[in-house]
Amino acid sequence: MRLKSNLWKDTYGNIFYRKRINGNRIVVPAYTKNIKNANKLLPALEYQALLQHYAPVNKTKFKTFPELVKLYLNDKEVNSKWADSSRETSKYVLNSFSLTRKLPDNKETQRGYKTRINACLNWGTSKGYTTNVEVMKVNKKQGRTRVFSSRELNIIFNEFQDDNFCSFLKFAYYTGARRGEINSLKPHEIEPSRVKVNGKSGIRYIKLNSQARALLMEQEKLWDYKVGYISQKFLKETRRLGILDARFHDLRRTFGLNLIKDGVPIFQVSKLLGHSSVKVTEQHYAPLLIDDIEDFYLK
C-alpha cells in the first residue's frame, strides 16, 4: 500500500503530512507508522495544516527530533547550567538516540537516556516546539548497594589489561571522585593537597590523600577518555575477570563505605564525596551498613 499525496515517511517509519501554503512549510505528524491508518487520517491532517496556517492558536513549530536536539544543545541558557561532563554526556546520549532511536538494554543506563531525552523534549515544549518523539516514562530509581570486596579491588587494580586505565581506577578509588570529575583533568587544576573540578553540582575540590598524590606524581600524562569508553572498558574487563554486576561508580560507593567503616565521621565523608548535605550521605550509605549491626535480643 502506498501513501497518498502529501504524506511522507521518515527513515524511522514515522508518517507526516507536509505541504507548502503560500510559501510557508507546514508539517503535521500523523502519530502512526501504519500506512493504511495514515491514509484514512489524510483529510484530518489537511484540516490541521490549514488551521496552522490560517488560524494558528499559538506559535508552536514542528521540529524533527534531531533538529530539536541541535537547538537544545546550542542553547546558551542550557549550557550555562551544565558541568563539562554533563554537557558531553547529554550530547553523546541525544545524538546517539537521534541516529538509532534505540535505548540501551541496561535498565540503569536506559533510565539515564530517558531522563536526558525528556529534558530535551520539555525544553522544546517550553520554547514552543513539537516533535515526533514523545516524553518517556521513567521508572523510579532503585538504590544500588553494590560495593567491592578487598579481593575484588585487588583484582581490578592489578589484573586489568591496561596499566594507564588501572591508574585511573586507583585514582578514582583513592579520591571517591565521579568519572566526569577526574577525566580530562588539567595540570593547573591540581594543587598540593586537592584538585579543583567541575562536578555534578558545580565547582568543588577533591581531597588528595597520600596515595592519590603519589599516583599523580608517577603519571606522565593525565587521562582524557572519550564519553562512554570508561564504562564500557570497565564492564568488559570486570566480566573477563569474573567480577559480576560491576560498574565504575561502585568504586565511589566502596570508597565512602570503607571510610565510614574506618571510623571517619559522616560529616567528613559527606564533604569528601561532594554531597550537598549529610542527609544525602546517610540516605546513600544507611542501607549498606545494616549487616554491620550486631545481633540483638528483644524482650
All residues at 6 or more sequence positions from 31 whose CB lies less than 8 Å from its CB, including other chains: none
Whether residue 220 is found in the same domain as residue 122: no
Regarding whether 70 and 52 lie in a shared domain, the answer is: no
Q: Do 90 and 154 fall into the same domain? A: no
Residue 136 lies in a domain: no
Task: Over range 269-288, report the average pLDDT.
Answer: 89
Q: Is residue 142 part of a domain?
A: no
> Computed from CA positions of residues 252, 257, 260, 266, in that sequence, does the dihedral angle turn out positive or negative?
positive
Q: Does residue 145 lie within any of the structural domains? A: no
pLDDT surpassing 90 at residue 53: no
Residues 126 and 35 in one domain: no
User: Is residue 298 domain-resident?
Assistant: no
Domain identity same for 262 and 177: yes
Could you tell me if residue 258 is inside a domain? yes
pTM, rounded to two decimals? 0.61
Percent of the chain with pLDDT over 90: 57
Sheet holding 24-29, edge to edge: 7-9, 15-21, 24-29
162 located within any domain: yes
Q: Which domain holds residue 75?
A: 65-130
Same domain, 184 and 243: yes
The alpha carbon dihedral of 43, 49, 55, 59 has a sign of positive
pLDDT at 58: 58
Across 48-62, 63-77, 94-108, 208-222, least confident range: 48-62
Query: Which 8-state DSSP code applies to residue 209?
Result: -
In a domain, 43, yes or no: yes
Query: Residue 293: its pLDDT value, please?
Result: 63
Residue 141: pLDDT above 70?
Answer: no
CA dist., res. 78 & res. 212, Å (int) = 34
> Band of the pLDDT at 85, cuts 50, 70, 90?
confident
Please tell me whether residues 118 and 222 are part of one structural domain: no
Band of residue 83 on the pLDDT scale cut at 50, 70, 90: confident
Same domain? 166 vs 228? yes
Note whether residue 84 is domain-resident: yes
Q: Is the domain of 117 the same as that of 194?
A: no
Strand pairing partners for 205?
196
Q: How many domains does the chain have?
A: 3
* CATH code for the domain of 167: 1.10.443.10
Tens of pLDDT, residues 92-124: 999 999 999 999 988 888 988 999 999 999 999
- Asked if residue 181 and residue 109 are part of one domain, the reply reads no
> Quick one: 154 and 286 in the same domain?
yes
Residues 280 and 234 in one domain: yes
